[in-house]
Amino acid sequence: MPSLGFGEARHDATFVTRASDHFLRLSRSSIDDTITQNLNALETPARAGFDPASTSRLGPRPLSHQIDAAACSTFKHKVLFPTWQVRSDVLSYCSLVATSPDPDDPERALREAEHEKDRERVVDERLDPYSARFFPREARTEYLASILRQEMGPRNSDTMAPQTLSTREANLFRTVIRYYEDKQYKRGLKAAEQILKRNPKHGDTMSMKALILNAQGKTDEAFALAKDALTIDMKSYICWHVYGILYRTNKNFDEAIKAYKFALKLEPDSHQIQRDLAVLQVQMRDYQGYIQSRFVMLKARPQLRQNWTALAIAYHLDGNLQQAENILNTYEKSVTTTPLRTDFENSEALLYKNTIIAETGDIERALEHLESSCKNCLDRLAVMELRARYLAQLGRKEDAAKAYRALLERNSDHPDYYKCLVDALGIPTDDEAALKAVYDEYAAKNPRCDAAKRLPLDFLSGDLFRTAAKAYLTLMFDKGVPSTFANLKHLYSDAFKKESLPVLAEEYLKEHSGSSGAEGQANGDSSKGEGAALYFLAQHYNYYLSRDLSRATEFVEKAIELDSKNVDFHMTKARIFKHQGEVAKAAEAMDHARLLDTRDRYINSKAAKYQLRNDENEKALTTMGLFTRAETVGGPLADLTDMQCMWFLTEDGEAWQRRGDLGLALKRYHTVFNIFDIWQEDQFDFHSFSLRKGQIRAYIDLVRWEDQLREHPFYFRAALDAVNLYLSMHDKPQNGANGVEGSHANGDDAAERKKAAKKARKEAQKAEREAAEKAAKQDPNKGGAQKSKDAEDAKKKDDDPNGAKLAATTDPLGDAMKFLWHLLQFSPKNIEGQIAGFEVFIRRNKYLLALRCLKAALAINKGHPKVLEQATRLRKALGGDLGSLAPKVKEVIESELASVPGA
């Protein structure tokens, strides 16, 4: 083995750069040339001697032929494997020379012990990107490669040259990485400082220090240090990668992508950087860039099926279904062994390919592929459902009916199977007897099946409906099922059914009221059926389509007389109070219901909700605290925020808004907004996880759901509340601390509101302190784990817990736009969102945008009084400003405004 020029003292880490560079280059090229030459000879064996003149002529393309198996075996065992072994020996020798410790080093034993621990580490792919350094077979070679790159860097630059670490400091650098991964930031920072004390211009250490500072919440300092590291070592891919990580953790994904791309220019073979870039690209929906990244990753590791699947997904999300199918076909052709039946990844990949074929519209081919390739897939239910759907789409009614009957044998309570079976059988919608016969068949087969008895009530009418409804109500009342009304209230859109159901319930009451003796004992509790019927009638008269609150109160009181400890009866009584406008009584009644069963989380949440409706924020928080973790720092509110309890946050914000504390109200609305941001960022965990686990179809559904995430009703409600609050803040500038409304600032009411808000804040802070003290006393011996948790909690500390900064905004309309854009984009069919959009834009003098919202609202409901009033206001606002607009804008507004009624 030739010398690398390290000198006699092998523990010295400095070596002759040019010699090592030439050595590695020549060894690699000689090994690669040997493999290439033998492979070419194997593929195209010579038929005649070499003729120099033949190179100037283009001969016919040789016919494809099968290579002799013996020749392949000879090539593999005598050429390929030995050359790979030589290459491994070269790298092992280089890494041994580069990382050999100083025999006189007193800390040698300690470092070797740490190295053995590193070998045993289980590295999780979701840890820091540089955790790959701890893989036993890659650590030393990567270390050598790093030294070579540092030595081969700016050869001609004498200023700001990156420094090379000694063996001892290189080992210390590895401990910095380990401390960072273990979240021992103080130790990692101390170790980094030790390295930088001797090597103040070492860019990689500066970058790791920047990562640690960023993890501690010192973002500005981290970015400044990372920029200094780049200034010192512009050619370090590690520095650029870390720079991208900093941008990613601070949600500046565009800049992170730029940094990753530059890092890849310096180190094109880095799988980790390429993967980080791909994840960011799909997160940002840059599907063209994602395709390119996945193609590069596939070329680097074509033996991994997930790389092929990922490229197919990239094409699929980009809308290129044909290319996605081709990628999957190419991999299947390259597989020479038959996958096991228990291979989950193969099963899901086949079903995923089938869904791609179906999305192209070729249902016949999708059915053929399903029956030929997916017959042994592990998800049998998905195969059966897809087959039934394809048969129905192809018009093969008889086969489709058989398929749906097979599905009903598996699950007779699935309502969609019944509807699809009826369609496959071709039964007309007006043939009620034939339709009912289908449901009766399965009701007889499965006596406990609810769907077969309930679904016919959707299409039956007249006497058939009354007969079926009476049988269903009798069955449910006899069992004492409390959800009977919830199962049937959708029928109230039909006037006949709405009138028939209470009549049948009262008939049941007449037949069963006061039943006793042998009959009552034979059927169990004689009051069960009567109580269920009374409860049904109370809900019926409390329902908005059939509301009669006096009769609802009468029936619920009778039900409570039968069973005074029934939680459902008292809940309905509280709802009746709410609909009567007696919010305080409703809250009191719901809390009474809660006390009947203190272990029921649902009734506990209902009681808290009614307390919030009564503007009892502190009491509601205490009630919710009965089911939150006592050890959570910050008390019940912090735990509810961590658990993303959006209904509570929204109701709490609305209650604070009614009480005049706009700061806390805005705080709650922004918290809900941030929760949806968290859901958006949670995708990061699944871009790689889903590929590793083979959950491809679920991943596609996730991406499509995330694209419409802010259509969620919880987001719409909180965002609309925030926009309306910002509008009121713009119209009525605030006066006083924490956003107490200034419109009452000249009277006793303003003083009372300020006093109440101040008292509420003090009580909230007191509750948080008590919860923190309780958590500290609960387990004083948690040691290092508790310290790490405390450090993380300190990082998450909120610098504006009461929303004072939010309420002190000088641009409420600008802040409202943060919520409004999502409302208009994801809920364009909701008239309340369009009305709020008009109000914001008209105040900002954005007349075109205001006109667009107005026309959208008119398309939804022309007769809405607020919309008609807005049309008049727009015409009035344009009267003075129309002449100052650009000619094209003026022309568009006038032409569009002409079609607006009332404008």
At 362-417, the pLDDT tens digits run 999 999 999 999 988 999 999 999 999 999 999 999 999 999 999 999 999 999 99
Q: Would you state the torsion angle of the CA atoms of residues 53, 56, 57, 60, taken in this order, to the nearest 10 degrees?
A: 100
Confidence bin at 80 (pLDDT 50/70/90): confident
Residues 6+ apart with CB under 8 A from 658: 615
Q: Among candidates 178, 149, 186, 187, which has minimal Cα distance to 165?
A: 149
**Does residue 247 sit within a domain?**
no
Query: Residue 350 domain-assigned?
Result: no
pLDDT given for residue 337 in this prediction:
87
What's the rounded Cα separation, in Å, for the pair 152 and 164?
A: 11
Q: Among the listed ranges 475-484, 632-641, 828-837, which one has the minimum average pLDDT value? A: 632-641
Whether residues 739 and 653 share a domain: the answer is yes
Does the residue 138 lie in any domain?
Answer: no
**Residues 719-727, mean pLDDT to the nearest whole number:** 97
**pLDDT classification of 743: cutoffs 50, 70, 90:** very low
> Same structural domain for residues 744 and 842?
no
3 state SS of 737: helix
> Would you say 741 and 656 are in contact if contact means Cβ atoms under 8 Å apart?
no
- Report the pLDDT value the prediction gives residue 791, as an integer from 0 to 100: 47
For residues 745 and 855, state if they share a domain: no
Residue 266 has pLDDT above 80, yes or no: yes
Residues 6+ apart with CB under 8 A from 403: 384, 387, 388, 391
Lowest mean pLDDT: which of 9-23, 62-76, 539-553? Answer: 9-23
pLDDT of residue 816: 96
Q: How far is CA 70 from the centre of its chain?
A: 53
For residue 758, what pLDDT band results from cuts at 50, 70 and 90? Answer: low
Q: What is the DSSP string of 388-432?
A: HHHHHHTT-HHHHHHHHHHHHHH-TT-HHHHHHHHHHHT--TT-H
Here the tokens at position 492 are 């109230």
How far is 105 from 93, CA to CA, in rounded Å? 22
Would you say residue 161 has pLDDT above 60?
Answer: no
Confidence of residue 10 (pLDDT cuts 50, 70, 90): very low
832 and 704 share one domain: no
| Residue 182 domain flag | no
Confidence class for position 129, pLDDT limits 50, 70, 90: very low
At residue 661, the 3 state secondary structure works out as strand
Q: Are residues 738 and 881 part of one domain?
A: no
Q: Please tell me the distance from the alpha carbon of residue 579 to that of residue 356, in angstroms, as a whole number.
A: 51
661 forms beta bridges with 740
Answer yes or no: is pLDDT of 115 > 60.
no
Counted domains in the chain: 2
Q: Mean pLDDT across the stretch 680-701?
A: 93
844 and 809 in a common domain: no
User: Which H/E stretch holds residue 631?
Assistant: none
**Residues 836 and 734 occupy one common structural domain:** no
849 is in which domain, residue-wise?
828-903
Give the CA distances from residue 460 to residues 272, 430, 798, in Å, rounded to whole numbers and listed in that order: 62, 9, 58
Whether the pLDDT of residue 555 is over 80: the answer is yes
* Percent of the chain whose predicted confidence (pLDDT) is above 70: 75
- 647 in a structural domain: yes
- Does the structure show a pLDDT above 90 at 495? yes
| Of 147-161, 181-195, 548-562, 688-702, the least confident | 147-161
Domain membership of residue 223 (yes or no) is no
Cβ-count burial 158-192 (b if 16+ within 10 Å, e if not): eeeebbbbbbbbbbbbbbbbbbbbeebbeebbebb
Q: How large is the greatest C-alpha to C-alpha distance in the chain, in angstroms?
A: 116
| Domain presence at residue 708 | yes
760 and 853 fall within a common domain: no
Are 775 and 740 in the same domain? yes
Q: Tell me: do 809 and 860 sit in the same domain.
A: no
How far CA 450 is from CA of 411, 412, 439, 444, in Å, comes to 11, 9, 11, 11
Looking at the predicted structure, is the pLDDT value of residue 806 above 50? yes
| 727 lies in the same domain as 845 | no
Q: Residue 152 domain-assigned?
A: no
CATH of the domain at 734: 1.25.40
* Per-residue CA distances from 391 to 384, 386, 409 (Å): 11, 9, 18
Q: Are residues 760 and 647 in the same domain?
A: yes
